[in-house]
Amino acid sequence: MAVVLLSPVTTFARDEDDGPAPLFALGSKPMVVVTAASANRLRDEATYMFDVAGLPDAVDGVLGLLDENVNGLKGLDWDRPAGVMMYLESVFPPAFEFVAFVPITTPEDFRSMMELGSVIMRQEPGEEGRYELITARRNLQIRIEGDYAFIQLPMMDPDPAFERDLPDPGALVSALISQFDVAVSLDVEAVPKGTRDLVLNMLTSTMSTQMQQRDDEPESTYKIRKSWMEADIDGFKLFFDEVRRISFGLNVISEEHAAHFDMLFDVREGTKLLEEIFASATKASYFTPIISDNSPVSLSWSGVMAERDIERYDGVLEGLKGEVARVIEENDLGSIPDEGSPLFHAISALQQTVSEGHLDAFGQFYRDSSDKLVVATALRVQDGNAIASGLLDVLMRIQGQDDIGRIETGFREHAGVSFHRLEFKNPDAGAIELFGSNPGITFGVGERSIWGCVGGDDSFETLTGVMDELVEAYENPTDHQVPASFRLVMKVNQLIELVQGAEAANKNKESEEVVEDVKSSGDSGTKGSSKPAGLSQGDGGRGGQDDERAKRRQQFQERQELSNQLFREALAEGDDEIRVEGRPTENGMRMRVRLGEGFISGLGRVIGVRMGLD
């Protein structure tokens, strides 16, 4: 049995309907493909990147170096895709074979290119299209088929016979290069179903073992953990059975002055997972009218939950009842709650919210009347009155605790919602600079929505303004573009300004404290210790070695600081938006990160400096 498990078995891939594949079949298709659309396309994108970075001659400089050192890579076809394929060679232990595919002009030109320097590309006697690349370190196997050279890479000691069936690279990556400049794709179906089932069974068996109740683990904690892991197991089963492939790709779009980084899930037709993906985006957010693209940070998430996630969160909340009761008893926070208590009624209301199957959340940054930051949030719920009573119960129990800041119940009221406030305990100078005086959290629950904000004294007026804006939008409806089911927009320059202001305030406070400490030391007559003469600090007898390490560290830090400075300068010139959106596609789902031109410019400047092109 051990011999069977440890021996790699290679069979040809088959369709799912042809019957079960052998248990340890590895298939003939590559499991992972890394590809670039073409050298010319990368050159065009690099030209655009360096142009916006203010280095218009950078690409010409790189091409000139290629002409001088490797004859301009004239053995390669610059108009077709290239990349690397990874094949599964062994399941136990895991082993892979890596094969590069390179488009060539002619075998003769490719061979001339490869033999620059002390390398020899020797043709195998009597075997057309087979070569051995002889180098000083190790030899590589090469096969030329059609217009492509396939190079067996030396990782993980591949079989030198190199006899596997190889695909047509153009057909293999056509879907990827139609969307991306560079991409990575994991083909789940490249591993035959029998092998996937084996790996899945091992994974779920391990998770089921870990899911067992541990010694001395409270029942409530166990119930929470079990509910979460059971849903994870169901999710893994769907992934192995119904996902065809996962792809990651980068596409620079000069016409849009932006770059897209996408994650694509390609799911089999007619499957449960595909139905869940389509259903997830069928309900628009209640908060759509107040979603803004001009805020420093804007988040909205409106998704219909899958049944397994409904069961997950319902089980977690059921376990939370016991966990809350245990914590209250252990910390002597009042009477132990039961099913008739406000706390348990509040958790039951959250369970009712989950059972409705629609998650609808909103968060956005604002500026208050003092130009300080306010983070406003909201969540749609069922039976908000029960949640409000439970929330008040919690506040009454923890009020006056040593590690809790000042709590003011019934702080204010707006639109029929009673709000409470929890001020931060001993906020630092940075928090005060960021949020204003007396920073804290204000929150309240209406019949259908939980509202809250983080901010200073003026933050409540900002929150009520957001609530009023939403009411007015529904009283006087206008057309709004429906956002993606998941959406996050960030304005990086505004975030940097906020963070730098808080950091500067903390540094100033620390400097003032140091000055006060020095004054106190001087007033008390304390003198600093003097170093004994003739002793070197931190030498330890190594001398030059320590100096060299310190020098390298300093050089690395200087390079990092320069890179950060160049990137910040590029972003400061504008187009600093990061936009993340998740939407269903015809056969799955796409999560896209859109980066403004400022990021492209910043990357070009950093690369230019590192390559000495500035």
List the domain boundaries for the chain: 28-190, 282-493
Do 83 and 169 touch, CB atoms closer than 8 A?
A: yes
pLDDT in tens, 393-414: 999 999 988 889 999 999 999 9
Alpha-carbon distance 450 to 382, whole Å? 10
Do 301 and 485 touch, CB atoms closer than 8 A?
A: yes
Alpha-carbon distance 466 to 460, whole Å? 10
Rounded to an integer, the average pLDDT of 546-565 is 88
Rounded to an integer, the average pLDDT of 280-286 is 95
Rounded to an integer, the average pLDDT of 565-581 is 94
pLDDT in tens, 498-539: 999 999 999 998 888 888 878 877 666 554 444 444 444 445
Question: Which pLDDT score, from 0 to 100, does residue 275 have?
Answer: 96
Q: Give the type of residue at 562.
A: L
Q: Give the type of residue at 315.
A: G
Alpha-carbon distance 318 to 227, whole Å? 10
HEC per residue, 253-289:
EHHHCEEEEEEEEEECCCCHHHHHHHHHCCCCCCCHH
Question: Which pLDDT score, from 0 to 100, does residue 69 have?
Answer: 76
Question: Which pLDDT score, from 0 to 100, does residue 118 have?
Answer: 85
Q: Look at 6-15, 88-97, 272-281 and tell me which has the smallest mean pLDDT.
A: 6-15
Rounded to an integer, the average pLDDT of 119-139 is 90
pLDDT in tens, 559-570: 899 999 999 999
Average pLDDT for the chain: 90
> pLDDT above 70 covers what percent of the chain?
92
Question: Which pLDDT score, from 0 to 100, does residue 514 have?
Answer: 82
pLDDT in tens, 295-337: 999 999 999 999 999 999 999 999 999 999 999 999 999 999 9
Q: Supply the pTM of this predicted model.
A: 0.87
Quote the Cα angle for 551-552-555, to 5°: 85
Question: Which pLDDT score, from 0 to 100, does residue 318 have?
Answer: 97
Alpha-carbon distance 467 to 452, whole Å? 10
Residue closest to 455 by CA, chosen among 487, 416, 411, 490: 411
Alpha-carbon distance 544 to 557, whole Å? 20
- Look at 8 and 293; give whichever has higher pLDDT: 293
Do 310 and 374 touch, CB atoms closer than 8 A?
A: no
Rounded to an integer, the average pLDDT of 563-587 is 94
* 11: confidence class by pLDDT, cuts 50, 70, 90: very low
Rounded to an integer, the average pLDDT of 186-190 is 94
Question: Which pLDDT score, from 0 to 100, does residue 541 have?
Answer: 53
Question: Which pLDDT score, from 0 to 100, does residue 21 have?
Answer: 41
Q: What are the angstrom distances between the C-alpha of 162 and each of 82, 97, 142, 190?
A: 19, 10, 8, 19
Alpha-carbon distance 547 to 397, whole Å? 58
Rounded to an integer, the average pLDDT of 564-593 is 95
* 25: confidence class by pLDDT, cuts 50, 70, 90: low
